Structure 1
Amino acid sequence: MSDRKTPTIDLGRRVFLKSLLTGSALFLVDSLTKGPVVAISRTANAAQAAIATSRYPRFQAQYAPGMGFPQSVASGDPTPTGAMLWTRVDPRVSPGLTTDKVDPGLVQWMQDPASSPNEDVIEAIRQGRFVQFEISEQADFSHIVLSGFAPIYQDYDHIVKVDVDGRLQPQTTYYYRFITRSGHVSRTGRFRTLPTAGAPVRSVRFGYVSCADYTNGYYNAYRMLAEEELDFVIHLGDYVYESVGDPQYQNPLPDRQIHLPGGKSKAFTLADYRTLYQTYRSDPDLQRLHERHAMIAIWDDHEFANDTYFPAVAPDDSPESDPSRRLTANRVWFEYMPARVTFDETQSFDRSIRIYRSFSWGDLAEFVLTDQRLYRSAHPCGEKELGERYLSPGCPRMNDPDQTMLGEEQKAWFLDRMKSTAALWKIWANEVQYTPLKLFGQYLNLDAWDGYAGERREVTEALKKAGVRNWITITGDLHTFEANLIHTDYDNASDEQAVGVELMVGSVTSSNLKEMLKQTIHGSISGSNPLPLSAVKQMIADVYGPVSSLSEGIMDEVIRRLSELITMQNPWIKRFDSTTHGYAVMELTRDKATWRAYAVSSIQSRDARKSLLFECEIPRDQARLDFSHG
């Protein structure tokens, strides 16, 4: 720890705090089973701790839940003994502390276990620059199992991040809340800890989502997912969109418009990106999802910019690298996501943060999450013309193993995790389509794994050679529901030769193929389109011929023909639906995996219903899709 800088804390009258250990968030914990006890060190005796704690105030709720916490609460990255807890405090409630670094992965203790708590810490708590957190197994907090104080980080947009890993019991449901010195209390959050690593487990049930353009519609899918009985939720990226819409050619819902401080239609500055997250997290349906379930999140491209690649290039905005903008996007993602990752702004953009990581659910499942944006190569065939990235005939570079999606370091880590885990099911949280997607001999999207086909084959063959079974890839990005078989050789593929399964979830709100078809007719455009409208127009012309007017019947016919052609020309794609929005739920047992894809009836109104779109089973030790619905 000695290589980390000691944070400075601005208390107005007091400028520094001598006794903080190097690192980040001060974390003062007390176990109320024996009365308040501040954890000064792991070896501090109860008498010393009790004396110290008596000098701290206890914060009492005086306002209605939620006031002073405009983004509510969230939990994430659960472990067998804890989770990351998150909130943001309205700066009008407390100015918070000024510090130069936050490291939520570390619990901070007083430096000298034999001494009394530092007066500056006590003063900061009394001034309300900390929040009190409480954790209970009861929703009414009638018995508190863990509580304490954590700082409000002024320089990190007044967020609070508390890691309680190591302090709770496995496979237990907990409730948590935050209280300020002024008596503002957050709404209650809930999360469930994981089973002990390697412990025998019978089942796990989780949901996953992707692609949620705030301006494009209401988050009905989030609300419905929140009501599911789940152990946790995985977010596959595009949690926010850097594009907020230009009213000259877009028409966001009247109450879903976002105006960025920078005055542009895309986020570029720290204030811009923070405005995105503040606005998205103000949505009641997204808040409900975070309050009900722990979230394990990765990013895709729109948390920074569309179709981004190394070194911090946003090809739709500029061909030049923009490391400052990328570093800003990294920082704000770190600020707002309840993820057990660290951020170091003194490092280069690609070393400032590492979001790839894994989680174990007992002996039943290993969840491996990758980052497919920060390290990836540029698109293989170029950027200038439409056919170089979308509806492309391809080029030799795409088959070169050095054309990398993961980067060498991450790829080695990924293969090691997938091959070495003893868990029965291996679930890969993967951002972009893994299996090929072609139409009339052209690749629809070389921003997906088709543009990195050499590395795709290398990865697939390595897992096959290692004898990895029960491998399921969960995917987002294309705003489409798909169920696909994974092969090593797609030119000579038969169902019996499949080595894995890919299950893609449609978008929460971002434009799907049916909506893009409407845009081509009406001359509008959305910032959340997965493909350029010019590519969609070409696809329509190839499938149906010129379309100058639109009726529901014609649109349905075009979509039906297109879907049939895609499944016919890509025989590993067993289901394809790009007409709706929704979420997916997966249940893993000792015998099978069950996947259910749910559609929502509308994103233009909050009055929506859900329906089952697809349901299938993947038998244990077989790369096979058995459909019972859809």
Structure 2
Amino acid sequence: MRLTRRTFLVASALGASLAAAPGWAGREARQAVERRDLFPQGVASGDPDPDSVILWTRRPPVGGSSARTLVVEVASDPRFRRIVAGGRATIGAETDWTSRFLATGLEPAREYWYRFIDEHGFASRTGRTLTAPAPDDGAPVRFTFASCQSPNDSALNAYRRMIFEDEARPPEEQLQFVLHLGDFIYEVTWYGSEHPDGFRGRRIRDLYRFPDGEKVGAFHLPVSLEDYRTLYRSYLEDPDLQDARARWPFVCVWDNHEFAWAGYQSQYVAPGVSRPSQRKKVIANQAWWEFIPARVARPGDPTQDRFDGPQVDDVPIGAFDEDGLGQEPNNLAAIHSLLIHRTLRYGRHVELLLTDHHSFRSPPPDGSAFSVPGTRWVSAEKVDRVLDGGRTYNAGQSPETIAFLGRELPNPAKDGPRQTFLGRTQRQWLLDRLAASTATWKIWGHSFGTLDLRSDYFNLPASTGVQWPAELGYALSNNSFHHERGEIFDFVRERGITGLALVAGDRHAFQSGLVSKSLPPETFEPVGVEFVTGSISQSTLLEVAEGVRKDDPLRALYLCDRPDGPPLPAMNVAFLHGVRSALALQDNGGDLQAALALRNPEVAPHLRFLDRGGHGYGHVIAGEGQLEVEFVGIARPMERAESADGGPINYRVRHRTALWRPGEAPTLALEVREGDARFCV
């Protein structure tokens, strides 16, 4: 195997050791004894391309046994009879004993096995990985997408289900990779000893303790690199997550919790705290880089396998430019310390476009004065549009005040920037890549999605005691960045770009539908399709709603209580069909057909599916003229399932969309293939 200049430069940019030393192919496998206990976080692979893939492990000192050098073996068979690549990697405390190794010179669309062996002859478990197909390969691309996991208060049964089903498929139909859309860890945590009775029916484990953390309210928060490393180490000891990472390459982006619950740029925001945290942003990035194998741009000497982050101070961000980017030098250094936006090509049919939605996000305006009394988890559409537009709203004539419930309240966004989750540079990069892509399907890995969820609260009956004037517009749930989304979707429509599909997470809910700049009564022009996966394990809004008091006037909007079973998910009905249907569900004893007789067809013409209590993952097959996405919804994962299949399935819902031509609107068909999803469509 020849070490080319191109291969050397690619590996150096990744900060990975290089599996391209001459003479490795054809060698005999080393004699080794598998010792999984010495590699407690297992093995992983990431970001494959047609001729290379990053391999990962962690070999810390354990019980008096330590190592400094690892041999990597890559084989075309699981018994390592045919070695095709290999090399050596050094490890040390500066990267928490983790190693990234770029295996090169591989063949496209091939299955490989790999392992790490220390200088004592102790081996990791064997990992399996797959390279990407060549750019001209016309075979369908198959992958799953997932997000939002926390083994500290739940079980990761979805991965066991994923593995169980994949092992049963013929080889040509098996998955090629897993796309993880963020919240790989949760930096806000509880300790089990402080919650012996659990929380919302969930048992809180004591999987870890922060060595340096702080407690704010009920939550423990990380403050040091060792704290963030502690989270990754603990999560990666979960057997189902570890098995998944050993079976498939993962392609990962972060969402919010890899740094801060509600943070933006380098500002750490969580319940009870909001402070400049440039140092924490850098160390959070470092911990992600150490534990997630990915082709990302990081600082320091590109020939060394370590993260040399910038030296920064925690300084108020201060002045923001017209896009809301904080110009304080420490902020800029921190948010550029790791750049994760990138593309990956999979044959003729798929180009993955991956973006970062928090490092360049604008500071949110304070809309707390605009909450409608008696409501939860929603905001007023007309107010949101003003706040989102900032100084650019109404062609630069943003109002001094906003009319709200008979009062004129100061507009807190009048002099602020238009809201962005991408930032100017990353947004332009995305538009350029969309325009240049020749793939059949341009799949945007969007950490939180763009589908509007809205309900007609202006139709609430007076008997609820809640007043929602029609001039407030719809009640919005989890909707934001209206103007930036509009700019992107206008670009797609004007350029005649087809095959745009978004896959997303974060919402702890399954959602699917057509994406458009606006909804009725404004112009509704779909330009793509979107699929949002339920969480792997994190609690859902439906679960939270179960804690709403039964005498709450709007409880029936969230849950339909029954005397002979668990509540029905009325909140799905409210956002699919309107408040009259949701309330009628309770009035008619859960009779869905009676409730749908009162549906408002204007509420959600774009939605095809909504389950705000959904756990599981999405399964994608992207081919020549059709995209197929299946939602696999599993039972609420309170404890680890005992069965090999990961436990029962609630439903299996398949979506199909045919490739549309420029100027045409996409369509999206849905089929419930298994289980009960009546209250989700």
TM-score range, shorter chain: 0.7 to 0.9
**Pairwise CA distance, 1:67:** 2.8
* Residue 511 (str. 1) matches residue 539 (str. 2): yes
**Deviations 1:397-446 (Å, cap 9, x if unpaired)?**
3135632110001000001111110111110000113022223245544x
- Structure 2: any 5+ residue segments left out of the alignment? 1-11, 167-173, 300-308, 312-332, 393-417, 458-472, 579-598
Match among 406, 410, 422 for residue 406 of structure 1: 422
Give the match for residue 336 of structure 2. Answer: 351
The one-letter code sitting in structure 1 at the alignment partner of 2:434 is: M
* Residue 84 (str. 1) matches residue 54 (str. 2): yes
Give the match for residue 84 of structure 2. Answer: 145
The one-letter code sitting in structure 1 at the alignment partner of 2:32 is: A
**Deviations 1:173-209 (Å, cap 9, x if unpaired)?**
1111100112221111111111223x14131111000
Match among 593, 607, 627 for residue 573 of structure 1: 607
The one-letter code sitting in structure 2 at the alignment partner of 1:464 is: R
What SS does the corresponding residue of 1:555 show, helix, strand or coil?
strand
The one-letter code sitting in structure 1 at the alignment partner of 2:632 is: Y
Check the 8 A contact 1:598/1:612 in 2, yes or no.
yes
Check the 8 A contact 2:561/2:568 in 1, yes or no.
no
The one-letter code sitting in structure 2 at the alignment partner of 1:408 is: R
Give the match for residue 242 of structure 1. Answer: 187
**Deviations 1:4-55 (Å, cap 9, x if unpaired)?**
xxxxxxxxxxxxxxxxx99955546445566669xxxxxxxxxxxxxxxxxx
**Relative to structure 1, is the Cα distance of residues 139 and 61 closer, same or farther in structure 2, using a 3 angstrom cutoff?**
same
**Deviations 1:463-487 (Å, cap 9, x if unpaired)?**
1111111111111111100111111
**Pairwise CA distance, 1:592:** 0.5
Whole-angstrom distance in 1 between the partners of 2:653 and 2:561: 31
**Relative to structure 1, is the Cα distance of residues 552 and 455 closer, same or farther in structure 2, using a 3 angstrom cutoff?**
farther
**Deviations 1:481-516 (Å, cap 9, x if unpaired)?**
011111122134687x31111111000011112211
Whole-angstrom distance in 1 between the partners of 2:569 and 2:362: 38
Whole-angstrom distance in 2 between the partners of 1:547 and 1:466: 43
**Pairwise CA distance, 1:291:** 0.6
What SS does the corresponding residue of 2:254 show, helix, strand or coil?
coil
Whole-angstrom distance in 2 between the partners of 1:368 and 1:255: 36
What SS does the corresponding residue of 1:163 show, helix, strand or coil?
strand
Check the 8 A contact 1:71/1:278 in 2, yes or no.
yes
Give the match for residue 373 of structure 1. Answer: 358
Whole-angstrom distance in 2 between the partners of 1:216 and 1:385: 33
Give the match for residue 330 of structure 2. Answer: none
* Residue 625 (str. 1) matches residue 668 (str. 2): yes
**Pairwise CA distance, 1:563:** 5.0
**Deviations 1:573-625 (Å, cap 9, x if unpaired)?**
22111223111101011120111000112412313123543111011115111
Give the match for residue 195 of structure 1. Answer: 133
* Residue 221 (str. 1) matches residue 166 (str. 2): no
Check the 8 A contact 2:282/2:310 in 1, yes or no.
no
Check the 8 A contact 2:558/2:571 in 1, yes or no.
no
Give the match for residue 491 of structure 1. Answer: 520
Give the match for residue 649 of structure 2. Answer: 610
Whole-angstrom distance in 2 between the partners of 1:467 and 1:613: 33
The one-letter code sitting in structure 2 at the alignment partner of 1:232 is: F
The one-letter code sitting in structure 2 at the alignment partner of 1:78 is: P
**Relative to structure 1, is the Cα distance of residues 72 and 554 closer, same or farther in structure 2, using a 3 angstrom cutoff?**
closer
Match among 305, 327, 337 for residue 292 of structure 2: 337
Whole-angstrom distance in 2 between the partners of 1:549 and 1:597: 26
**Deviations 1:301-359 (Å, cap 9, x if unpaired)?**
01111122124331534333211111111110111001112432117211100011011
Match among 468, 471, 474 for residue 500 of structure 2: 471
**Relative to structure 1, is the Cα distance of residues 590 and 154 closer, same or farther in structure 2, using a 3 angstrom cutoff?**
same
Give the match for residue 583 of structure 2. Answer: none
Give the match for residue 525 of structure 1. Answer: none
**Deviations 1:123-182 (Å, cap 9, x if unpaired)?**
xxxxx41100000110111111111101113211110101124x2111111111100112
Give the match for residue 259 of structure 1. Answer: 209
Match among 131, 142, 145 for residue 208 of structure 1: 145
Check the 8 A contact 2:14/2:297 in 1, yes or no.
no
Give the match for residue 556 of structure 2. Answer: 544
- Structure 1: any 5+ residue segments left out of the alignment? 1-20, 38-57, 97-127, 523-536
Whole-angstrom distance in 1 between the partners of 2:564 and 2:55: 46
What SS does the corresponding residue of 1:313 show, helix, strand or coil?
strand
Check the 8 A contact 2:113/2:127 in 1, yes or no.
yes
Check the 8 A contact 1:486/1:500 in 2, yes or no.
yes
The one-letter code sitting in structure 2 at the alignment partner of 1:67 is: D
Whole-angstrom distance in 2 between the partners of 1:580 and 1:337: 26
Whole-angstrom distance in 2 between the partners of 1:363 and 1:545: 46
**Relative to structure 1, is the Cα distance of residues 87 and 554 closer, same or farther in structure 2, using a 3 angstrom cutoff?**
closer
**Deviations 1:508-565 (Å, cap 9, x if unpaired)?**
011112211223459xxxxxxxxxxxxxx9xx74362799998674621644644544
Match among 249, 253, 260 for residue 294 of structure 1: 249
Give the match for residue 416 of structure 1. Answer: 432
Check the 8 A contact 1:376/1:406 in 2, yes or no.
yes
- Give the stretch that moved more between structures: 420-429 or 336-345: 336-345
Give the match for residue 61 of structure 1. Answer: 32
- Give the stretch that moved more between structures: 557-566 or 414-423: 557-566
**Relative to structure 1, is the Cα distance of residues 549 and 357 closer, same or farther in structure 2, using a 3 angstrom cutoff?**
same
The one-letter code sitting in structure 1 at the alignment partner of 2:442 is: K
Check the 8 A contact 2:150/2:538 in 1, yes or no.
yes
**Deviations 1:444-465 (Å, cap 9, x if unpaired)?**
44xx5x3211111111101111
Check the 8 A contact 1:31/1:146 in 2, yes or no.
no
Check the 8 A contact 1:201/1:362 in 2, yes or no.
yes
Check the 8 A contact 2:16/2:102 in 1, yes or no.
no
TM-score, normalising length from structure 1?
Answer: 0.79
* Residue 273 (str. 1) matches residue 211 (str. 2): no
* Residue 185 (str. 1) matches residue 123 (str. 2): yes
**Relative to structure 1, is the Cα distance of residues 385 and 244 closer, same or farther in structure 2, using a 3 angstrom cutoff?**
farther
What SS does the corresponding residue of 1:455 show, helix, strand or coil?
helix
The one-letter code sitting in structure 2 at the alignment partner of 1:556 is: L
- Give the stretch that moved more between structures: 86-95 or 76-85: 86-95
**Relative to structure 1, is the Cα distance of residues 627 and 221 closer, same or farther in structure 2, using a 3 angstrom cutoff?**
same
**Relative to structure 1, is the Cα distance of residues 558 and 487 closer, same or farther in structure 2, using a 3 angstrom cutoff?**
closer
**Pairwise CA distance, 1:382:** 4.0
Whole-angstrom distance in 2 between the partners of 1:288 and 1:73: 9
**Relative to structure 1, is the Cα distance of residues 404 and 565 closer, same or farther in structure 2, using a 3 angstrom cutoff?**
same
**Relative to structure 1, is the Cα distance of residues 35 and 473 closer, same or farther in structure 2, using a 3 angstrom cutoff?**
closer
Whole-angstrom distance in 2 between the partners of 1:230 and 1:186: 23
> How many residues are paired up?
536
Give the match for residue 49 of structure 1. Answer: none
